[in-house]
Amino acid sequence: MTQMQYRWIGGAILAVSLCAFGGSMWGMSQRLDEFRTDEPLDPNYFIPLGEEAFPYLRRDVVIETRPDAAPPVVSISYGDETEVIPIVGRDVPELGGLDRHLDWLRVLLLAGEQGKQANRNRLLEEPAPGSQLVVVARGGAPGFDPETWGTAHYKDWVYTFLVLEPDGSITRFNKTYRELSKSPHTWEFATAMTVTPSLHTPAMRSSSPISYPNYSPVRDAFGSMGWTWPVAGFSMLGCVIGTMVFAGSFVSRGFEEDDEL
């Protein structure tokens, strides 16, 4: 084949591949836009509270650590109701306030629709759409020694949630890490990650090329792309091949002729 024929072939491969790449990328963007519209990302912005006593919606919230109880507990009182959570994580009294339980228990004021524009003091005085005050605590996997296998089986960790309702009641429920990971855009998931060691958070685990396809938001996003992402990959490969063939057609054969002489 002549250099001109190689040039035409390389140019044709490059042109077709560029068209396929452009079309697949456009299709991919449309599919991802539809996917994000159907499953919007909710930042679930929240404000951490470190005080052991403060008013919320004209009722007193008192959080007391009772290390002498059997077992040691953290007591949460709101209005006329009281809930207790066993201390299963580290308790460092020297840190003071709620910081002593920072690695396993948090009190968070969810901003709701106001997001980052929310005013902390105003939310404590009157509710806003979507705002709420929650306590989240992380416990080990049940049935295992909390100092050994209870810590290792992180997918079975049990998270306790307390929602301090505007009517003065406290709603309590539990969820495991496994259950929470199936709904990564919820406020429950977002708050639970604040008391989860960074090694076990999806952000850390998904940073590994080996593990990130198992992170459901990434897996679902890939699935929504359909045919577009493999076509984009192959068309990019075609662009590389076409460019090499096209550029190679300009290489002179003078050196080979000199060698023959």
Is the whole model's pTM more than 0.85, yes or no?
A: no
Count of alpha carbons within 13 Å of 182, Cβ hemisphere only?
5
Task: Give the pLDDT confidence score for residue 209 in this predicted structure.
Answer: 37
Cα distance between residue 141 and residue 135, in whole Å = 19
What is the percent of the chain with per-residue pLDDT over 90, rounded to a whole number?
A: 20
Q: Are 171 and 188 in contact (CB under 8 A)?
A: no
Instruction: Point out the least confidently predicted range of 123-132, 144-153, 235-244.
Output: 144-153
Task: Give the pLDDT confidence score for residue 206 in this predicted structure.
Answer: 41
Confidence of residue 258 (pLDDT cuts 50, 70, 90): very low
Task: Give the pLDDT confidence score for residue 204 in this predicted structure.
Answer: 41
Confidence of residue 259 (pLDDT cuts 50, 70, 90): very low
Q: Are 111 and 48 in contact (CB under 8 A)?
A: no
| Mean predicted confidence (pLDDT) in 153-181 | 90
| Mean predicted confidence (pLDDT) in 156-170 | 92
Task: Give the pLDDT confidence score for residue 148 in this predicted structure.
Answer: 53
pLDDT in tens, 202-251: 544 443 333 344 455 566 666 777 778 788 888 888 888 888 888 887 77
Task: Give the pLDDT confidence score for residue 137 in this predicted structure.
Answer: 94
Domain residues of the chain, as ranges?
1-43+198-243, 46-184
Task: Give the pLDDT confidence score for residue 136 in this predicted structure.
Answer: 95
Confidence of residue 74 (pLDDT cuts 50, 70, 90): very high
pLDDT reading at 76 higher than 80: yes
- DSSP per-residue codes, 12-66: HHHHHHHHHHHHHHHHHHHHHHHHHHHS------EEEE--SEEEETTEEEEEEEE
Q: Which residues are CB-neighbours of 2 under 8 A, at least 6 positions away? A: none
pLDDT in tens, 39-63: 555 567 888 998 999 999 999 999 9
As given in the structure block, the two tokens for residue 120 are 């902390």
As given in the structure block, the two tokens for residue 31 are 């599919």
Instruction: Point out the least confidently predicted range of 28-37, 126-135, 238-247.
Output: 28-37
Residue type, 245: V
Task: Give the pLDDT confidence score for residue 113 in this predicted structure.
Answer: 77
| Mean predicted confidence (pLDDT) in 71-79 | 91
Of 100 and 10, the one with more pLDDT: 100
| Mean predicted confidence (pLDDT) in 129-139 | 90
Mean pLDDT of the chain: 79
Q: Are 61 and 77 in contact (CB under 8 A)?
A: yes
Task: Give the pLDDT confidence score for residue 114 in this predicted structure.
Answer: 77
Query: What H or E segment, with its residue span, contains residue 135?
Result: strand 132-139
CB-count exposure of residue 107 (10 Å: 0-12, 13-18, 19+): buried
pLDDT reading at 257 higher than 60: no
